[in-house]
Amino acid sequence: MKTRYLLSVLMLGCGVAQAQDVFPSRSITMIVPFPPGGVADTTGRPTAAALEKVLKQPVAITNRPGAGGAVGNAAVANAKPDGYTVLMALSSISVIPEADKLFNRKPAYTLDQLAPVALISADPMILVVHPSLPVKTVKEVIALARKQPGELSFSSSGVYGALHMPMEMFLHAAKLKMRHVPTTGGGPAITQLLGGHVTMTAGGPAAITPHVKAGKLRTIVTWGAERHPNYKEVPTFKEQGMDIRWRRRNRWSRCCVMPCARLSTTRISRARWRR
């Protein structure tokens, strides 16, 4: 059993809440902007359970997928800033508004509408392939992709999402062409790969591990700066001669977020759970 610690903000006096109000006095909604089965969902559920023990109030998970996470992100950004609606965010939360600006679209939300509360985890992404693909190393992936340009495919959690961006970094660095199959989240992206509809994807350790252990997925390489402790046999891109790293350790990556407002009294505590 591995013990992890969650640093959580247990009281945020937001908006026009009275100083004497007791927080929380009712249930809290945690919006996960992707379907079940992906990294956001597998991270959000144990986080909600840990918060319930500390806050002594129910923390209900609501999956709000769509537009690479933008639907759920916008729902929280535009929610009442009273501390009762929080978001389990992935790195795509900071990419989507910038992408909208590049294409002259009105963003569904902006980062100044949101306040990061706590970093939950920062695991690196791992490239996994369908076991039918005749490759075991990233060099073999590159060789096969160059031999069959545009024929290999990868799934993602959506355009500009946390699974899409690292794959594009890889393709750009290696000068490869692959077909992108966006889905509504990490769970559906893995389902596409398990079903053989695509040949590979980038996945978080929590989401891929059951399928790797069952022999349904094969690990190739990690975008991390160093090997993951649970996947010591999986080399980094740098070890394979490619200086590619997908950094998730910023204030928006796999972070608990809530609508932004003036913060007043803050109480920080430490919750423990087993994983």
Mean pLDDT of 210-237: 96
Specify whether 53 is located in the same domain as 95. yes
Specify whether 57 is located in the same domain as 23. yes
Specify whether 146 is located in the same domain as 99. no
**Going edge to edge, which strands form the sheet with 200-203?**
179-182, 153-156, 200-203, 126-129, 218-222
CATH code: domain of residue 181: 3.40.190.10
C-beta pairs of 167-171 under 8 Å, 24+ apart in sequence = 167/201, 167/202, 169/223, 169/244, 169/246, 170/127, 170/223, 170/237, 170/242, 170/244
- Which of 68-72, 150-154, 160-164 has the highest average model confidence (pLDDT)? 150-154
| 245 is a domain residue | no
Ramachandran angles phi, psi of 110, nearest 5°: -130, 155
**Cβ of 183: how many Cβ atoms within 10 Å?**
25
> Which residue has 């079940």 as its token pair?
36
* First vs last C-alpha separation in the chain: 6
Mean pLDDT of 10-38: 72
Specify whether 111 is located in the same domain as 130. no
Distance between CA atoms of 95 and 239, rounded to whole angstroms?
27
| 166 is a domain residue | yes
Specify whether 153 is located in the same domain as 223. yes
Kindly tell me the burial class for residue 169, based on how many C-beta atoms sit within 10 Å of its own C-beta (0-12, 13-18, 19 or more). Answer: middle
- The number of domains in the chain is 2
Mean pLDDT of 150-159: 95
Specify whether 228 is located in the same domain as 143. yes
Specify whether 16 is located in the same domain as 114. yes
Q: Residue 260 — very low, low, confident or very high, per pLDDT cuts 50/70/90?
A: low
Domain span at residue 135 reads 126-240
Ramachandran angles phi, psi of 203, nearest 5°: -140, 150
> Which residue has 């209900």 as its token pair?
60
| 149 is a domain residue | yes
| 92 is a domain residue | yes
CB contact at 8 A, 215 and 131: yes
| 217 is a domain residue | yes
pLDDT tens digits, residue range 171-200?
A: 999 999 999 999 999 999 999 999 999 999
Specify whether 176 is located in the same domain as 80. no
Residue 158 has pLDDT above 60, yes or no: yes
pLDDT at 247: 59
pLDDT at 136: 97
Specify whether 90 is located in the same domain as 146. no
pLDDT at 272: 37
Mean pLDDT of 16-34: 79
Specify whether 130 is located in the same domain as 115. no
Mean pLDDT, the chain, whole residue set: 84
| 220 is a domain residue | yes
pTM: 0.76
Specify whether 105 is located in the same domain as 151. no
Distance between CA atoms of 206 and 43, rounded to whole angstroms?
8
Q: Residue 154 — very low, low, confident or very high, per pLDDT cuts 50/70/90?
A: very high
Specify whether 112 is located in the same domain as 157. no
CATH code: domain of residue 74: 3.40.190.150
pLDDT at 255: 52
**174 contacts: CB under 8 Å, gap ≥ 6:** 142, 145, 242
pLDDT at 38: 85
Task: Please spell the DSSP secondary structure of 233-272, one letter per residue.
Answer: TSPBTGGGT--------STTTTEEEEE------EEEEEEE
| 57 is a domain residue | yes
